[in-house]
A and B are shown apart, each in its own frame.
Chain A
């Protein structure tokens, strides 16, 4: 509950985004709602997960640009250089192909690297190593060479950073057999999924979101425990509902929850699924939900063509066609490179009202179709 309300103030308004501010919890002014539950930012969740896994296994090490002395470009690795030393927290030159290949080679040897991409846009410089050197090795070697590596970093749109720094890579990486692709939303997700990723014996692409780093979420004692881990390949039903299923991942989970609130006031009960894992995709949870609600809206930030929503739609049509009472709706980023101008940027990413509109359409309750641009 608390998390949702913070979302509304922090991420909902575009003006806050355009200023490119890190959304700090203090700005939300919702201290009055504090309950006895502890709160943690996504940033701290990631930092504590890295810390605990490095402490538990000496083979885990970090590598990336500015992860050490700069304390992390987004401060995710803050304090880790001091704690673990330069042998385990390594600052690299700006050479993604080189250091990613070195990381994969270290994983071949048996170490457990966590490679940071300052943003996943830069992972394209190293994508051959992620796909051909990491993802496919276990298969090509018939199990001799496994690659226990994690590639992590911010993914998708930030605020005002333009076309080359805003792409979402979930669909591309999730297409590849041999990779696992995780997309945390809350602090619980961040902790549990990162720990699971580091412990996993296969290559994991861990897609964070810059605008979520400063968001606070309640965390239970169980989540704070150092053995806490979330299962890979299992989605979470963030909000139960019975009229329409909304699937989302990363920042769009927050938007979908806001949309669900609005829809509830109009008598539509939306079930919001936080995918958590794009590959493996939790088809069972999605299909079970659609079989209950009979309607589906997929939400993602990335480009629409061949996106995550396309896969979910196909999966539901294949497995639960008879249960669908309406065509599947897709909400995604616009089919354009990300523009810089604030008003155009707002049009290029999904907004809460887009999700609401699509859900209503799926429920045959909208009165007009969206005007074309």
Chain B
């Protein structure tokens, strides 16, 4: 069945984009009543209407297909499972240093991908595992990188905060809060300079929203009409500081002043998709726009933060019950009779297995050779010397 097929095509299925895995599972393509083909469209509404600043908001009514709904469910379930597994690996000390988890915020990554192409660019901060996966990264690359192995997306030299996938327009993975925003505007500059007709989404949190460099970059982007979309993933806490303690005005979508903005329910993947589609069209014609995604992270800021000293457990469980992005899709799937509860549970089991297999494979990936300490410092090293801790013991020539 589905599981055995995944097992037999072991390595290759992990490298295939997430959505195509669905084609290997014909059992899910037998919904109870609706037709299984892509031509069926379903009309749905976002959870709430969009609130806008200096622009006309897009409609809250949009169309989707059963395939898209099922894909959203599986993809978000995969991301959720990946982050939970990372939590366990961290506690088992297989992941070291920083580990910032994205569970709860999956709808932003998935909805955005659904609205754009791999020629559009995404740049984000350190909560980047799911964004990387959405751009086409594999589970193996994620887990191997987190464990510092050769099969990692940065060969183990970056770590949790430094995932990149340039061929799919994903430019990281940045550890300095706020720095990614001017960098993202620079990507947009490059796109405009090259006349590529593509856009850049620069993601940042409510904590970074107060950074001066954001306003510097936004000013320049507006002056030069850069196709830059600033996306504030407002999960309401900058580490342990609630937004009302950090920002005089927490209406982040309005903070652009002369730059239009849209407030979006970030837990609703369709709202995210609609907003990103709207933003892309806007940015290509009129320059920068701000999207504020109202979202939530279940974990603390990072694995060293329990996440419950500055917010109540009731709040966390409340959001999980009322607004969880995966549950929203589950309810939509049931409402449109696209799958049974068992079928969805089977998908979740499959996803869990996929993640477990990737972890096993990542554990097999070797650690880097010591000589890799000195690679990639430069593209061109001109034969200059580099040194280890004891320069009389360890020195090398950079190619």
Determine if chain A interacts with chain B.
Answer: yes
Binding site for B on A (CB under 8 A): 61, 87, 90, 92-93, 95, 97-111, 128-129, 132-133, 137-146, 177-178, 180, 200-202, 231-233, 280-281, 283, 318
Whether the pair A95, B164 counts as a contact (CB closer than 8 A) is: no
Interface string of B51-86 (1 = CB under 8 A from A): 000000000000000000000000000000000000
Q: Inside 8 A of A318's CB, which chain B residues have their CB?
A: 391-392
Residue among B123, B188, B213 having the largest count of chain A Cβ atoms under 10 Å: B213
Whether the pair B223, A111 counts as a contact (CB closer than 8 A) is: no
Tell me the complex Cα distance, A244–B392, Å: 26
Q: Inside 8 A of B188's CB, which chain A residues have their CB?
A: 105
Residue among B173, B190, B380 having the largest count of chain A Cβ atoms under 10 Å: B190
Tell me the complex Cα distance, A139–B162, Å: 10
B171 interface residue (CB < 8 Å to A): yes
- Closest-by-CB residue of A relative to B154 is A142
Whether the pair A132, B164 counts as a contact (CB closer than 8 A) is: no
Whether the pair B219, A141 counts as a contact (CB closer than 8 A) is: no
Whether the pair B219, A93 counts as a contact (CB closer than 8 A) is: yes
Whether the pair B376, A138 counts as a contact (CB closer than 8 A) is: yes
Whether the pair B382, A107 counts as a contact (CB closer than 8 A) is: no
Q: What are 5 A-B contacts defined by CB distance under 8 Å? A: A105-B186, A108-B186, A133-B176, A144-B165, A233-B383
Whether the pair B379, A128 counts as a contact (CB closer than 8 A) is: no
B187 interface residue (CB < 8 Å to A): yes
Whether the pair A280, B181 counts as a contact (CB closer than 8 A) is: no
Tell me the complex Cα distance, A61–B186, Å: 13
Instruction: Enumerate B170-210 residues with CB–CB distance to A below 8 Å.
Output: 171-176, 179, 181-191, 193-194
- Closest-by-CB residue of A relative to B121 is A109
Residue among A101, A110, A231, A281 having the largest count of chain B Cβ atoms under 10 Å: A101
Q: Inside 8 A of B190's CB, which chain A residues have their CB?
A: 105-106, 108-111
Whether the pair A177, B377 counts as a contact (CB closer than 8 A) is: yes
Sample of 9 more A-B contacts, CB < 8 Å, known A93-B220, A139-B377, A141-B173: A101-B181, A102-B182, A138-B376, A143-B375, A143-B376, A201-B378, A202-B380, A280-B381, A280-B382
Whether the pair A95, B184 counts as a contact (CB closer than 8 A) is: no
Tell me the complex Cα distance, A57–B220, Å: 24
Tell me the complex Cα distance, A132–B384, Å: 22
Q: Inside 8 A of A98's CB, which chain B residues have their CB?
A: 182, 185, 213, 215-217, 219-220
Whether the pair A129, B171 counts as a contact (CB closer than 8 A) is: no
Q: Inside 8 A of B219's CB, which chain A residues have their CB?
A: 93, 95, 98
Q: For the complex formed, measure the closest distance between the CB of A124 and the CB atoms of chain B, giving whole angstroms.
A: 14
Q: For the complex formed, measure the closest distance between the CB of A337 and the CB atoms of chain B, giving whole angstroms.
A: 25
Tell me the complex Cα distance, A103–B213, Å: 13
Q: Inside 8 A of A61's CB, which chain B residues have their CB?
A: 193
- Closest-by-CB residue of A relative to B223 is A93
Q: Inside 8 A of A141's CB, which chain B residues have their CB?
A: 154, 158, 162, 164, 166, 172-173, 376
Whether the pair A102, B157 counts as a contact (CB closer than 8 A) is: no
Whether the pair A128, B179 counts as a contact (CB closer than 8 A) is: yes
Q: Inside 8 A of B187's CB, which chain A residues have their CB?
A: 105-106, 108-109
B386 interface residue (CB < 8 Å to A): yes
Whether the pair A145, B171 counts as a contact (CB closer than 8 A) is: yes
Q: 7 closest Cβ contacts across the A-B interface?
A: A105-B186, A101-B182, A98-B216, A109-B190, A280-B384, A95-B216, A105-B183
Pick the contact of B154: A97, A140, A233 (CB < 8 A). A140
Q: Inside 8 A of B156's CB, which chain A residues have their CB?
A: 142
Q: Inside 8 A of A142's CB, which chain B residues have their CB?
A: 154-158, 375-376
Whether the pair A200, B121 counts as a contact (CB closer than 8 A) is: no
Whether the pair B186, A102 counts as a contact (CB closer than 8 A) is: yes
B385 interface residue (CB < 8 Å to A): yes
Please classify how large the interface on chain B is, using the bins under 10, 10 to 19, 20 to 34, 35 or more.
35 or more
B306 interface residue (CB < 8 Å to A): no
Q: Inside 8 A of B157's CB, which chain A residues have their CB?
A: 139-140, 142
| A180-B378 contact, Cβ under 8 Å, with A98-B216, A102-B220 | yes
Whether the pair A99, B216 counts as a contact (CB closer than 8 A) is: yes
Q: Inside 8 A of B189's CB, which chain A residues have their CB?
A: 102, 105-106, 109, 111
Q: Inside 8 A of A232's CB, which chain B residues have their CB?
A: 382
Q: Inside 8 A of B181's CB, which chain A residues have their CB?
A: 101
Whether the pair A233, B183 counts as a contact (CB closer than 8 A) is: no
Residue among A93, A108, A111, A283 having the largest count of chain B Cβ atoms under 10 Å: A108
B212 interface residue (CB < 8 Å to A): yes
| A111-B220 contact, Cβ under 8 Å, with A138-B379, A142-B158 | no
Whether the pair B193, A138 counts as a contact (CB closer than 8 A) is: no
Tell me the complex Cα distance, A92–B166, Å: 27
Whether the pair B377, A178 counts as a contact (CB closer than 8 A) is: yes
Tell me the complex Cα distance, A109–B193, Å: 10
Whether the pair B385, A200 counts as a contact (CB closer than 8 A) is: no
Tell me the complex Cα distance, A177–B171, Å: 21
Whether the pair A144, B166 counts as a contact (CB closer than 8 A) is: yes
Pick the contact of B379: A97, A108, A202, A281 (CB < 8 A). A202
- Closest-by-CB residue of A relative to B380 is A201
Q: Inside 8 A of A281's CB, which chain B residues have their CB?
A: 384
Tell me the complex Cα distance, A174–B280, Å: 41
Whether the pair B179, A106 counts as a contact (CB closer than 8 A) is: no
Tell me the complex Cα distance, A178–B224, Å: 30
Tell me the complex Cα distance, A107–B182, Å: 12
Whether the pair B176, A104 counts as a contact (CB closer than 8 A) is: no
| A109-B380 contact, Cβ under 8 Å, with A98-B220, A128-B179, A144-B154 | no
Whether the pair B377, A233 counts as a contact (CB closer than 8 A) is: no
- Closest-by-CB residue of B relative to A63 is B189
Q: Inside 8 A of B172's CB, which chain A residues have their CB?
A: 137, 140-141, 145
Q: For the complex formed, measure the closest distance between the CB of B304 and the CB atoms of chain A, giving whole angstroms.
A: 21
Instruction: Enumerate B358-390 residues with CB–CB distance to A below 8 Å.
Output: 375-386
